[in-house]
Amino acid sequence: MLRSRELRADPAPDPTVPRGAAGGKRPRETGDDDAGDSDGASVVPGVVPGAGRSGGGRWRLPGSAGDAGRRRDGLPVNPSGHPPLTAAEVTVVPADQASWADILAVLCRSDAGRCLCQRFKVPGWIWRDTTLAERTAALREQTGCDRGGPGPTSGLVGYVDGEPAGWVAVEPRTAYPKLRSSRIPWAGRDTDPDDDGVWAVTCLVVRTGHRGRGLTYVLARAAADHARAHGARAVEAYGMVTRPGRPVTWGELHVGARQVFEEAGFREVTHPTPRRVVLRMDFGAGRGGSPVVGC
């Protein structure tokens, strides 16, 4: 259980704690205009709403080619030369169907190895009020990866050719206490923060070696499908605005880039700061219904 405490050093390294995440200076608390690890520089136009789901809670990328090698601003998706992902290469599963080792393999190769998707879980200041060991234990419990059966989970894991490559956090919005004290989700609109029928996508991570191939587009669509399949009436995201010619680091994009969610079928509902937008997908009256845009 995460609890408030005075600032103190993290405990000695533990074999269950992500390697390389302990030690060094504690990261500062990023503001509402900042955002962690995402693949927002790449686009796969072949990802379309409602396509690509298969049995067992798994989701696959539609196998379209076309103009998938170009971004909206006309630049190549993969300037490094890596090809865009294909349907046969990508599978997304709920985190409780993944192993703990696979989850750590994705998160611990990035800034996410410190936060471990607890930024919006801790009501206070994450770096003061929790230790690395506590954040690690919390994530392990939240994912349900040790449960051995179906149940609530806190995200999805994406695999490329069978290798763990990506993570997306998606749960009911009420599962993120820190969102209540953030102005981004609430500014400029009237919405009930206690409505557990609204889910939220709060983090996207792509493992080093798999970036620049459009994986976050797959993860965003899969997150929406997962929320709908588990009874959500709507799902929101709090994306970052990226602009050509203005550099954005991987660490700033853990909330996902705006275009990632737009491609998945989300629509912008508010623009509370110059760099952040609230995007939403409504599912209509019943589970599995067609998406309905709006608040």
Closest CA to 205 of 255, 133, 136: 255
Per-residue pLDDT reduced to its tens digit, 187-220: 999 999 999 999 999 999 999 889 899 999 999 9
Beta bridge pairs of residue 195: none
What contacts 24+ positions apart, CB below 8 Å, involve 44-48? 44/68, 44/77, 44/84, 44/85, 44/213, 44/214, 44/217, 44/218, 44/263, 45/263, 47/214, 47/217, 47/218, 47/221, 47/263, 47/264
Q: What is the pLDDT of residue 83?
A: 81
Length of the chain: 295
Per-residue pLDDT reduced to its tens digit, 59-100: 444 433 333 344 443 333 454 467 888 767 899 999 999 999
pLDDT band at 16 (very low <50, low <70, confident <90, very high): low
Can you tell me whether residue 112 is helix, strand or coil?
helix
pTM of the model: 0.74
Q: What is the dihedral angle through the alpha carbons of 203, 143, 106, 277, rounded to the nearest 10 degrees?
A: -10
Higher pLDDT, 35 or 138: 138
* Domains, the chain, with CATH or none: 87-282 (3.40.630.30)
Per-residue pLDDT reduced to its tens digit, 222-280: 999 999 999 999 999 999 998 888 777 667 789 999 999 999 999 999 999 999 999 99
Tokens of 199: 């889910």
The percentage of residues in the chain with a pLDDT greater than 70, rounded to a whole number, is 67
